[in-house]
Structures are given as structure tokens and as C-alpha cells.
Amino acid sequence: MAITRKRAFYLILIFLIIIDICLLAYVTFYPVDSSLKVGAWTFDLILCVVLWIEFIYSYYHCDDRKQYMRDNGLSILGMLPLNFYFLRALRLIKLVQMIKLYVLARDSEKAFTRFLKRTYLDKILFVAILFIFLLTVLIRIVDSDIHDLATALWYIVVSATSTGYGDIVPTTVSGRIVGIIAMVGGILIFSTLTAVISSIYVSRISRDTRDDLESKIEDLTLEVSKLNEKLDELKNEKD
């Protein structure tokens, strides 16, 4: 099936948002010169304008504007210019929305919508990424021994996933509190994510098993029906 214009447009937006997130992450986590920062912020500003145009156009051409705002109102946060590094994770909101719109533009719209409503997988992944990003920024601020955001990100990911290499250790009380939050929150988030993924496979196996049983029941019903017909024929012959 040839790709539609709507899907192509959403795919381009997804690509641009990913580039924007990578640029913002690079100028956030690594020391760069001012010209690169200005270039990244300019690209981010231009992308925000494009996203706002897409949002306004979709709003005025949708069938139910109130429902559109209920479904997409949160994405407004993902269209704000993000010159402040502690707000840059908000761009992930718009990325998630664009990916959903791209998939919903395909033939599998109903199945994908049911899948998201049943599993909340997109929301769980977004919460996990936002949780890690915010704690990364927070521990960089409160612990003086963690000198850059790349090191802070490594520590939070290691703590949240319960890996615990021990190569980076917070020395301040505030830093240790952030570490505890990362451990407890990581256990909750990633155990939920694991449960969701497991439920997907279990439901798939259950569905396949149910289909197999239904097929066998139909075959048995057909066999019983044939046996009943033969019994009726034998009774008629005796009579």
C-alpha cells in the first residue's frame, strides 16, 4: 500500500522532532560553543512554529474540537520553545503524539487504539523517560561531586534499573535522597512496564489457545453431527 500524504507528513515531523531532541540533548549534556547552541535553539524555534501550524490546522479541520483538545491538549507543552534545559523533555510529549498519529493514519488504526487503551504503553514509556530526565537534572543540581549531566544520567539509569555498578556515588544528603527516589521509582515504573509487556504475550498466547480450542470444538461438533446422522440412518433401516 502506497504511503499516504498524511502518513508522510507525520513521518517527516517525527524525523524532525527526533533530530530536535538529539540536538537539545547534545547541547544540554555536553559542553559546546555558543554558535552550536544558537543553531540548536533556532532549529527548535522553527520546529515549534511548524508544530503550532499543524496543531491549529488539525484543530480547525477536526469534527469535534472539544474532543480534539481533550485528546491533544497536553501536546501544547511539547510545542513550547525549550531554551531552558530542564524543560526540554517536554518535546517527548509531541514526539509520542506524532508517532501515535502516524500509526493511527494506517489501516491498523482501530487495533492500535485498542492496544494503547488496554496497555497504556505509550504513557508508561513517557513517564519513564520524563522520570529519568528530571532526576538527572535534579541530582546534577544538588550533588556537587557529579560534574556533568552525562554522568548524572548514567547514575540515574543505573540506579533506576537496579543495576548498581557503584562507580558513581552521591556524597550529599540531597543526592542520596534523589538516588533513593530513582531506585524506588525505577522499580515501580520498570516492573509496571515488564508486567505490561508480559501481559501482551500472555494475552496473545491465550487468544491463540482459545482459537485453537474453538477450532477443535467445531471439529468435534461436526463429527458428533455426522454420528447422529448415521445413527438416524441405522434407526430408519431397522424400522
pLDDT along the chain (239 residues), means of 10: 61 77 73 76 80 82 79 70 56 62 53 62 78 87 81 86 80 88 89 79 71 78 81 72
Q: Closest by alpha carbon to 112, among 200, 39, 24, 16?
A: 200
pTM for this entry: 0.48
pLDDT at position 234, please? 75
Residue 76 domain flag: yes
- Note whether 133 and 93 are same-domain residues: no
Within the chain, how many helices (H) and strands (E) appear?
8, 0
pLDDT at position 32, please? 74
How many domains, in total, are found in the chain?
A: 2
Compute CA distances 13 → 42, 47, 54, 98, whole Å.
16, 9, 10, 7
Distance in angstroms (rounded) separating the CA atoms of residues 65 and 104: 18
pLDDT at position 3, please? 47
pLDDT at position 2, please? 40
Compute CA distances 136 → 128, 148, 158, whole Å.
12, 10, 11
Residue 70 domain flag: yes
Q: Is 25 in contact with 88 (CB distance < 8 Å)?
A: yes
Query: 47: domain CATH number?
Result: 1.20.120.350
Q: What angle do CA 84, 135, 189 make, to 5 degrees?
A: 125
Distance in angstroms (rounded) separating the CA atoms of residues 79 and 144: 32
- Note whether 125 and 217 are same-domain residues: yes
Distance in angstroms (rounded) separating the CA atoms of residues 132 and 158: 10
Tally the C-alpha atoms within 13 A of residue 154's C-alpha that lie toward its C-beta.
13
Out of 63, 85, 108, pick the residue that ends a domain.
Answer: 108
- The total of other beta-carbon atoms located within 10 Å of residue 21's CB is 18
Cβ burial of 182 (10 Å; 0-12, 13-18, 19+) is buried
Distance in angstroms (rounded) separating the CA atoms of residues 162 and 186: 8
Reported in sequence order, the residue ranges of the chain that DSSP labels E, i.e. its strands, are none
Query: 171: domain CATH number?
Result: 1.10.287.70
**Domain extent for 193:** 120-239
